[in-house]
Amino acid sequence: MSDLRYTKDHEWVRVDGDIATVGISDYAQEALGDVVFVEVPEAGAEVAQGGEAGVIESVKAASEIYAPVTGEVVEGNAALDGDPALVNTAPLGDGWIFKVKVSDAAQLDTLMSEAEYQTFVEGLD
């Protein structure tokens, strides 16, 4: 079973202690196409569950990145400045977007499991 949780906006979260690493799903990166720019939130920024946390731009479109949980950003993925395509090549790995200190762990229970997310995206096609 995966330790990832997902939002309906196609962000994923992996939690280690009280730190959640956030990225976009493989489905989302595929739909966006070649990513050319990622605006990551600054460390120290406060994000709210469902609120805008950044922007991702591809050759096809620009899209907001939403915070899956409320908390304080502790790190943005600086590697994306020089290589935004990491979101395409490793969306669940090195292509992560930011890390946030979770302020309300109960919010994690509102997110979908990997199996629930797969069912959700199958319904979108």
3-state secondary structure the chain: CCCEEECCCCEEEEEECCEEEEEECHHHHHHHCCEEEEECCCCCCEECCCCEEEEEEECCCEEEEECCCCEEEEEECCHHHHCCCHHHHCCCCCCCCEEEEECCHHHHHHCECHHHHHHHHHCCC
Q: How many separate domains does the chain show?
A: 1
Q: What is the CATH number of the domain that holds 14?
A: 2.40.50.100
For residues 76 and 98, the answer to whether their CB atoms sit within 8 Å is: yes
- Read off φ and ψ for residue 121, nearest 5 degrees: -70, -30
Q: Does residue 1 surpass a pLDDT of 50?
A: no
Domain assignment of residue 32, given as a range: 4-122
Q: What is the pLDDT of residues 16-46, one digit of tens each?
A: 999 999 999 999 999 999 999 999 999 999 9
pTM attached to this predicted model: 0.94
pLDDT value of position 125: 72
Q: What is the pLDDT of residues 92-120, one digit of tens each?
A: 999 999 999 999 999 999 999 999 999 99
State the average pLDDT over residues 43-52. Answer: 97
